[in-house]
Copies of this chain bind each other. A is one copy, B any other.
Amino acid sequence: MVYSHIQDVLLGKFKEGETVNLRGWVYLTRDLGNLYFLVLRDATGLLQTVIRKSNTEPELLEKIKQISQETAVSLNGKIKKDERAPGGYEIEINNLNILGLSRDYPLSKKSHGVEFLLNHRHLWLRSPRQRDILKIRESVTWYAREFFRREGFTEVHPPMLTPSMVEGGATLFELKYFDRNAYLTQSSQLYLEALIFSLEKVWCLAPSFRAEKSRTRRHLTEYWHLEAEEAFYSNEDNMKLQEKLVSYICKKVAEKNREELETFQVRPERLLKIKPPFKRMKYQEAIDKLQRKGFDVKYGDDFGADEEEALTKDMETPLFITNYPLEIKAFYMKEDPNNPGTALCADLLLPEGYGEVIGGSERETNYEVLVKRIEETGQPIENYKWYLDLRKYGSVQHSGFGLGLERLIMWLLKLSHIREAVPFPRTPSRIYP
């Protein structure tokens, strides 16, 4: 038996009156006396099907009675154009088989509390809205890959289990690794830095972990981290690369995912506005701006969610904040020779107040300076023995960045919480299902 997809019908690939075989899950049922409507759901969409009871064999009517939400069925029917039907097509059912029954499906069409939905995430993912998020997520990763391939990058797979910490111990997940301890990676950057000496330009998309208690709309304990590292790139080159990447993804998604974007009331024009060059602002200017807005911040403070939101609330395009004070940024960032005391770095803030999505910088390449910077963090220098080797044997200028995939998706689709941007979200209070 050859089965078609709902999308094939909706795209008009069949003629009116033709017969198709479809299968999927029943999204909703409606009994209007002689007419029985059954909306079918498959991976590609929703389609209205109908049975005229007076025309129907008792055997089929018996089956129909057993169907409730999420029953799996296969069916055979005739295609009918019908302007009143959502999508413009309807199927008149000839025959139907029940593949798997469903009784008392816990997620009805009425609205549920967030905790209830998250406890049923394995079922909630079936909803057309969640499906659309998953499709957009795939698009974003596909176009990121396409972009990096065109730019001459090699995709690599860094390790998740690491012997030492990178961004400070407070937010590390620790585990027993046979007769020693290990940590879950917080960033693959140091490993990517090793790989540029082989491949020059590398990138990865891999999980990263943060044992942060912060229960904000924008934090996950496990997230997918898109990281890139580029030999011979200055911080300026690095920022241009980020602009191109983010713009490329926005353009492609705007072109290729119009249908999914509609679900979220996102007009493609909103994404097509995202074009290089992005606006830039020095950290000092950002502090001044925030003070003028009445924020209680001073030079040397890091930005919280509220500050980040305020900085781009009224913007329609992303904003780079550059030249953070060295002491509030990671040890591996290079000092800006033209602005001493600040780093050759940039955080990219999303428009409309969505906050940071990328952190990037040029890396310190000098062995002695780097040793000093590590010592200042109070961490044992032995933890960085192999990393320091990269500065001993043919050190070269290089830069890199890390992008939080879920944060980008959250902004793309105007999600109010990051947990919808990943199939099975992990937060301090949630690791189920």
- Name A residues whose Cβ lies closer than 8 Å to a Cβ of B: 3, 23, 25-26, 42-43, 70-72, 99-103, 105, 120, 122-123, 125-127, 130-131, 134-135, 137-138, 141-142, 145, 149, 154-163, 173-178, 180, 182, 184, 191, 194-195, 197-201, 206-207, 209, 211, 213, 221-222, 224, 231-232, 365, 386-387, 389-397, 422-424, 426, 428-429, 431-433
Instruction: Give Cα A6 to B74, complex, Å.
Output: 58
Instruction: Give Cα A394 to B177, complex, Å.
Output: 41
A131 to chain B, nearest CB (A): 5
Whether the pair A155, B141 counts as a contact (CB closer than 8 A) is yes
Using A102-B392, A154-B138 as known contacts, say yes or no to A131 and B428 having CB atoms under 8 A apart.
no
Using A43-B199, A138-B155, A199-B131 as known contacts, say yes or no to A160 and B163 having CB atoms under 8 A apart.
no
Name 20 interchain pairs, CB-CB below 8 A, sorted by A: A26-B394, A43-B200, A100-B396, A102-B393, A122-B386, A130-B198, A131-B199, A134-B156, A157-B224, A160-B160, A160-B209, A161-B222, A173-B175, A175-B175, A175-B184, A178-B213, A178-B428, A191-B423, A194-B433, A386-B433
A135 to chain B, nearest CB (A): 7
Chain B residue at smallest Cβ distance from A73 = B394
Instruction: Give Cα A197 to B162, complex, Å.
Output: 35
A171 to chain B, nearest CB (A): 12
Using A122-B389, A232-B3 as known contacts, say yes or no to A159 and B394 having CB atoms under 8 A apart.
no
Instruction: Give Cα A300 to B278, complex, Å.
Output: 64
Across the interface, A137 reaches (CB within 8 A) one of B25, B26, B157, B174, namely B157
- Chain B residues lying within 8 Å of A155, measured Cβ to Cβ, are 138, 141-142
Query: Given contacts A70-B393, A122-B389, A175-B175, could you give 6 more A-B pairs where the C-beta distance is less than 8 Å?
Result: A100-B391, A123-B197, A138-B156, A173-B175, A191-B423, A194-B433
This chain: copies in complex: 2
Instruction: Give Cα A107 to B264, complex, Å.
Output: 55
- Chain B residues lying within 8 Å of A424, measured Cβ to Cβ, are 158-159, 191
Chain B residue at smallest Cβ distance from A153 = B138
Interface centre among A137, A195, A393 (most CB of B within 10 A): A393
Across the interface, A390 reaches (CB within 8 A) one of B71, B122, B199, namely B122
- Chain B residues lying within 8 Å of A42, measured Cβ to Cβ, are 200
Instruction: Give Cα A319 to B66, complex, Å.
Output: 44
Across the interface, A99 reaches (CB within 8 A) one of B182, B397, B422, namely B397
Instruction: Give Cα A23 to B182, complex, Å.
Output: 37
A192 to chain B, nearest CB (A): 10
- Chain B residues lying within 8 Å of A43, measured Cβ to Cβ, are 154, 198-201, 231
A133 to chain B, nearest CB (A): 10
Chain B residue at smallest Cβ distance from A105 = B393
